[in-house]
Amino acid sequence: MNRLQDVLKTARAENRAVLIGYLPAGFPTVDGSIDAMRAMVEGGCDVIEVGLPYSDPAMDGPVIQAAADQALARGTSTPDVIRAAGAVADTGAAALIMSYWNPIEHYGVDRFASELAAVGGSGVITPDLIPEEAGPWIEATDKHDIGRVFLVAPSSTPERIALTAAACSGFVYAGAVMGVTGARDQVGHAARDLVERTKQATGQPVCVGLGVSTGDQAAEIAAYADGVIVGSAFVRRLLDNRDPRRGVDAVRELAAELAEGVRRGSKAR
Amino acid sequence: MTDPRAEIISAYAATAAMPDDTGHFPTDNALFGGRFMPEALMAVLKELTEAYEVSKTDPAFHQEFADLLLHYANRPSLLTEAHNLSARVGARILLKREDLNHTGSHKINNVLGQALLAKRMGKTRVIAETGAGQHGVATATAAALLGLDCVVYMGAEDTRRQALNVARMRMLGAEVVPVAIGSQTLKDAINEALRDWVASADTTYYALGTAAGPHPFPAMVRDFARVIGVEARRQTLELTGGLPDAVCACVGGGSNAIGMFHAFVPDESVRLYGFEAGGSGVASGLHAASITGGSVGVLHGTRTYLLQDQYGQTQESHSISAGLDYPAVGPEHAYLHATGRGRYEPVDDAEAMDAFRALCETEGIIPAIESAHALAGALRIAPQLAAELGREPVIVVNLSGRGDKDMHTAAAYFGVDFIDNGHSEGGEQ
Ligand SMILES: Cc1ncc(COP(=O)(O)O)c(C=O)c1O
């Protein structure tokens, strides 16, 4: 069992949802992003998604685009991202990489999975890869015991949910809304409905992301999902606090607020 | 006598072996095409695939599409022999006049087909990306005609160099959104259109303007543009009594090129030449020649050749032509290249602008700068072909669009001031 599966299993035994925080590696710098991710773990994140900054983030809203742009402008590379994942794994949290498909394919699927495993990483989220296109990736991740996370969406049919969930190893990522990343005032009913539909198809954990930014939203989701995923809100804290120390403090505080929300919501199950 | 209506319909309805049912173009070394898109878009891509497949065999759709192409878009387009230019290069150069279509380019063929599909799918809003603005103008036109709301995404850099087309789109009632992120050109406009679509697919149809993107776009866009090659093939036979020795097209994403090539693929004697934008020269690194200067990867939903760095980050493309300024290419061109059926070569800015001027001055036709790349390529291969064949070769060039939109760029390039303000250096008062 890899770290990701371990973390999810422990949380399930405690009857609580996990908190998953996202930050692009290399923003504001590679070391700065590592400091911020460590603070997210200290604040209460169980799992960190280390974002691989990409030139064409067609599924990201303006906040993550801005961060990825800055990270790329500073020359952040795939080995930097893997190094950041290793630093997260050293804290004891589960370290995942979130990446658009081309950087992984171009690096070499086997090389990517094996290098991530070597630094203690335990999973990869691929938002623009569907299982039908994932043959070699499934092979590589199985070989290196790296969790695979594909997404389901409110528009997914029952057949596609079943097919997608069956290809995941770790958890299923339920996109709460139809749209790109970015904080939203309301996460809405679509997420709850999607989690229910996904749970009918799989025994794997189902985690909800897209749009979540506050402790109250985290509580609402933790009442029915196995995990709460927060991205843009963390990035926003770093964008708003140009002083690196204040930025790190701000993400730690947000993680604590969200972790409290997750625990509160989990009790209401 | 050929019935142009029947010709349009058979061009669209023809079945093709590629792509396969999963939207791939398999070769020995790579599986091109496919669907690399978020799950959130799978439902609408399936809905679109079904609508497209039904339309291929639906007589009512065929009639509507043919009516629009015949009586609105001005098909069939002429095949004009460029006598003066031909004499210069020792070849018979035949120009397929897509510039004479309504809205001024080949893009209208694809857009009318897709707009009809949008209506059938019950969508009320259509979005598009555009580089040169020709696809945006065509989409705004179809939306006005068919009563659809229209939003066009366009790189901020392109809104400057193709200002005339921005004005045309707005006049036609479309909203034009300048995209000021990334390289501020076509690839970023596609990203922004995808961001819109993933949130709006219930009501919104995404009319992709080239034969790229996730399945079914490469096949569907090709089929709507296929009439170009079907007509050109017949017209060449009528004019010369034989098939051409070569057909030439410029390649941005590849819609005019695949539209021209596809009917000729089974004709083994016909060489298929795609000319990519060489910018300042492939060696300079400042170009948009995805096949010549790129490598296999995934961009905008499809596996193909693209310009990327060692970590798979897309590199910015460069071309004097906004419509060719795209760092990837449609997957069927990747397939034709990998299988050796198509030949792809770069044409740099200077060569294209020479051909642009030559066509203006010898034939009285102002081509789009995109199309000037195809012509430049044809002028380059003419002597090679003549030597190889030992006779005057027949070369068909897809003149994909007209050059009105490019007057600012041409004026700046040639260092002339076409606008007479009364006094040559004086600014406005
Ligand atoms: C006249 C003209 N030709 C060619 C192109 C390139 O597109 P494609 O390669 O899809 O034909 C464009 C694109 O804007 C265009 O306007």
Token reading at B260: 């021209």
Only one residue has tokens 């961001």, namely B195
User: Residue A191 burial by CB count (10 A; 0-12/13-18/19+): exposed, middle or buried?
Assistant: buried
* B183 CA → ligand 1 middle, Å: 19
Q: How far, in Å, CA of B325 to CA of B318, rounded?
A: 6
Nearest residue (by CA) to ligand 1, atom 16, is B134
Residue B417 pLDDT grade (very low, low, confident, very high; cuts 50, 70, 90): confident
Contact B300 A58 (CB under 8 A): yes
Contact B38 A59 (CB under 8 A): yes
CB pairs under 8 A between A and B: 109
Nearest residue (by CA) to ligand 1, atom 10, is B255
Domain definitions of chain A by residue range: 3-148+207-267
pLDDT above 90: percentage of residues in chain B: 94
Yes or no: say if B148 and B118 are a contact pair by the CB < 8 Å rule: yes
- Kindly tell me if the per-residue pLDDT of A111 is higher than 70: yes
For A19-42, how does the pLDDT look when each residue is reduced to its tens digit (9 = 90+)? Answer: 999 999 999 999 999 999 999 999
Measured from the Cα of B254, ligand 1's closest atom is 9
Identify the CA nearest to B399 among candidates B99, B80, B145. Answer: B99
Only one residue has tokens 């017949």, namely B234
Q: In sequence order, which residues have a C-beta less than 8 Å from that of residue B90 and are 6 or more positions away?
A: B382, B383, B386, B392
Give the per-residue pLDDT at B429. 36
Token reading at B385: 């072909």
Q: What angle do CA A134, A118, A80 make, to 5 degrees?
A: 80
Yes or no: say if B295 and B315 are a contact pair by the CB < 8 Å rule: no
Sheet containing B149-155: which strands, arranged edge to edge?
A: B175-179, B149-155, B125-130, B204-206
Closest residue in A to B187 (Cα–Cα)? A56
Report CA torsion sign: A92, A26, A103, A152. Answer: positive
Q: Which CATH class is domain A3-148+207-267?
A: alpha beta
CA–CA distance from A252 to each of A87, A231, B138 (Å)? 17, 13, 51
Pick B312's closest partner by Cβ from A107, A160, A164: A107
Give the per-residue pLDDT at B328. 98
Only one residue has tokens 């009594």, namely B241
- Kindly tell me if the per-residue pLDDT of A183 is higher than 90: no
* B207 CA → ligand 1 middle, Å: 15
Contact A102 B39 (CB under 8 A): no
For B401-414, how does the pLDDT look when each residue is reduced to its tens digit (9 = 90+)? Answer: 999 999 999 999 99
How many residues are given for chain A?
269
For B58-116, how does the pLDDT look when each residue is reduced to its tens digit (9 = 90+)? Answer: 999 999 999 999 999 999 999 999 999 999 999 999 999 999 999 999 999 999 999 99
Q: Is the minimum CB–CB distance between A184 and chain B shorter than 8 Å?
A: no
- Residue among B100, B324, B336 whose CB has most ligand 1 atoms within 8 A, to mutate: B324
Whether residue B210 has its Cβ less than 6 Å from ligand 1: yes
Yes or no: say if B116 and B143 are a contact pair by the CB < 8 Å rule: no
Yes or no: say if B128 and B153 are a contact pair by the CB < 8 Å rule: yes
Question: Span A97-125, mean pLDDT?
Answer: 98
DSSP β-ladder status, B79-81 and B92-97: antiparallel
- Kindly tell me if the per-residue pLDDT of B423 is higher than 60: no
Across B253-274, b (16+ Cβ under 10 Å) vs e yields: bbbbbbbbbbbbbeeeebbbbb
The neighbouring-strand residues paired with B128 are B152
Helix (H, G, I), strand (E, B) or coil at A207: strand
- Kindly tell me if the per-residue pLDDT of A226 is higher than 60: yes
Average pLDDT, chain B: 96
pLDDT above 70: percentage of residues in chain B: 97
Which of the residues A14, A46, A60, A196 is marked catalytic?
A: A60
Count Cβ atoms below 10 Å from residue A235 Cβ, excluding itself. 28
Q: Compute CA B287 distance to the chain's CA centroid, rounded to the nearest angstrom.
A: 17
Question: Span B336-361, mean pLDDT?
Answer: 98
Measured from the Cα of B371, ligand 1's closest atom is 3
Q: DSSP letter at A169?
A: B
Give the per-residue pLDDT at B421. 61
Query: Domain B79-103+225-414 belongs to what architecture?
Result: 3-Layer(aba) Sandwich (3.40)
Contact A102 B308 (CB under 8 A): yes
Yes or no: say if A195 and A216 are a contact pair by the CB < 8 Å rule: no
Helix (H, G, I), strand (E, B) or coil at A60: coil
Yes or no: say if A154 and A178 are a contact pair by the CB < 8 Å rule: yes
Q: How far, in Å, CA of A165 to CA of A197, rounded?
A: 11
The neighbouring-strand residues paired with B398 are B96
Identify the helix (H) or strand (E) that includes residue A66: helix A62-73
For B225-255, how does the pLDDT look when each residue is reduced to its tens digit (9 = 90+)? Answer: 999 999 999 999 999 999 999 999 999 999 9
Sheet containing B394-399: which strands, arranged edge to edge?
A: B79-81, B92-97, B394-399, B246-251, B271-279, B342-348
Report CA torsion sign: B381, B383, B386, B390. Answer: negative
- Residue among B77, B98, B99, B107 whose CB has most ligand 1 atoms within 8 A, to mutate: B107
Whether residue B324 has its Cβ less than 6 Å from ligand 1: yes
Give the per-residue pLDDT at B180. 93
Q: In sequence order, which residues have a C-beta less than 8 Å from that of residue B339 and are 6 or more positions away?
A: B27
Helix (H, G, I), strand (E, B) or coil at A159: helix
The neighbouring-strand residues paired with B297 are B304
Provide Rg for chain A, Cα atoms. 17
Q: Is the minimum CB–CB distance between A83 and chain B shorter than 8 Å?
A: no
- Residue among B129, B221, B255 whose CB has most ligand 1 atoms within 8 A, to mutate: B255
Average pLDDT, chain A: 96
Q: Is-above-0.95 flag for pTM?
A: yes
Question: Span A202-223, mean pLDDT?
Answer: 96
Which of the residues A49, A80, A115, A257 is marked catalytic?
A: A49
Considering chain B, tell me which residue range(s) the CATH 3.40.50.1100 domain(s) occupy. Answer: 26-73+107-221, 79-103+225-414
The neighbouring-strand residues paired with B105 are B401
For B283-306, how does the pLDDT look when each residue is reduced to its tens digit (9 = 90+)? Answer: 999 999 999 999 999 999 999 999
Measured from the Cα of B133, ligand 1's closest atom is 14
Question: Span A67-84, mean pLDDT?
Answer: 97
CATH number of the domain located at residue range(s) B26-73+107-221 in this protein: 3.40.50.1100
DSSP β-ladder status, B24-26 and B31-33: antiparallel
* B89, amino acid identity: V
User: Residue B429 burial by CB count (10 A; 0-12/13-18/19+): exposed, middle or buried?
Assistant: exposed
Q: Is the minimum CB–CB distance between A58 and chain B shorter than 8 Å?
A: yes
As a three-state string, the secondary structure of chain B is CCCHHHHHHHHHHCCCCCCCCCCEEECCCCEEECCCCCHHHHHHHHHHHHHHHHHHHCHHHHHHHHHHHHHCCCCCCCEEECHHHHHHHCCEEEEEEHHHCHHHECHHHHHHHHHHHHHHCCCCEEEEEECCCHHHHHHHHHHHHHCCEEEEEEEHHHHHHCHHHHHHHHHCCCEEEEECCCCCCHHHHHHHHHHHHHHHCCCEEECCCCCCCCCCHHHHHHHHHCHHHHHHHHHHHHHHCCCCCEEEEEECCCHHHHHHHHHHCCCCCCEEEEEEEEECCHHHCCCECHHHHCEEEEECCEEEEECECCCCCECCCCCCCHHHCCCECCHHHHHHHHCCCEEEEEEEHHHHHHHHHHHHHHHCCCECHHHHHHHHHHHHHHHHHHHHHCCCCEEEEEECEECHHHHHHHHHHHCCCCCCCCCCCCCCC
Give the per-residue pLDDT at B425. 46
Give the per-residue pLDDT at B427. 40
Identify the helix (H) or strand (E) that includes residue A228: strand A227-230
